[in-house]
Every structure is written in C-alpha cells, then in structure tokens.
C-alpha cells in the first residue's frame, strides 16, 4: 500500500511501514541541538486532533511538552525518553509507548527512528 489517503471514510492498511514514501516535514521544532530532519505521512485524520501516521526523525536531543495524547509503535531506531523528574527509558524497534497530554520531558534519539503514531 502506498498510504495515499487521509480520509476518515477510508480503511487504510499498510503491510510494510518502511516501504511507505514519506514527505519532508522539515526540521524538528522540538530539537535542542543541531537541526533534526523529519519526514512523515498522515495515514488517517479524524475530527479535531485525531490523526494516525508514520514519522521518521534523525538522531539528536529534543524537548517535548505534549498538548495531546500520543501512542507510538517503534518500527526502527532507538531513543531514550525521560519524563521531567523521572527515570530514563529506552524505546526501540518493536516497543510501544504512550505519552499522555501534559507529558513533559526529553527524547534523545540515538538512531534514526521510524514510528507509527496515533494522536488523540
């Protein structure tokens, strides 16, 4: 599947996430060091903030303040996420994570990450 549709009325099936052609989404606004190129593809959009897509980001440090809830499934790469005042956790290919609205902390991307995300 080429994942070209983003309508809430369409079923989207992606059998190989790494084969989907991604669009250049520019440098990561949350980066705290050198610019970190990103790319992605929206697979589905619903009402309001609801969205599902694929996202890729180059290595580097970043700081996040989540204004929505987000779940991720890491397809490739590795990063360390540290919630403000919390312990660091490694997130790698095959892992799932949930970042609730209001989550604040850092991501240190060690290897280019490719993830499937859901924002709600």
Check residue 7 and give its pLDDT: 53
Portion of the chain with pLDDT greater than 70, in percent: 92
Phi, psi of 62 (to 5 degrees): -150, 160
Question: In whole angstroms, how far apart are CA 43 and each of 20, 54, 82, 102?
Answer: 10, 7, 28, 25
pTM for the whole thing?
Answer: 0.90
d(CA 91, CA 94): 9
Model confidence at 17: pLDDT above 60: yes
Q: What is the tens place of the pLDDT at every residue in 77-109?
A: 999 999 999 999 999 999 999 999 999 999 999
d(CA 11, CA 36): 32
d(CA 55, CA 74): 10
User: What are the structural domains, with CATH classification, of the chain?
Assistant: 22-119 (2.60.120.10)
């Amino acid at each position: 599947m080429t994942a070209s549709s983003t309508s809430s009325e369409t079923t989207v099936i992606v059998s190989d996430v790494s084969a989907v052609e991604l669009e250049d989404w520019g440098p990561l606004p949350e980066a705290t060091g050198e610019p970190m190129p990103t790319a992605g593809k929206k697979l589905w959009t619903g009402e309001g903030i609801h969205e599902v897509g694929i996202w890729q980001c180059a290595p580097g440090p970043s700081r996040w303040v989540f204004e929505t809830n987000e779940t991720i499934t890491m397809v490739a790469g590795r990063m360390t996420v540290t919630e403000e005042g919390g312990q660091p956790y490694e997130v790698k290919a095959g892992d799932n994570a949930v970042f609730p609205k209001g989550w604040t902390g850092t991501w240190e991307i060690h290897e280019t990450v490719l993830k499937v995300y859901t924002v709600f």
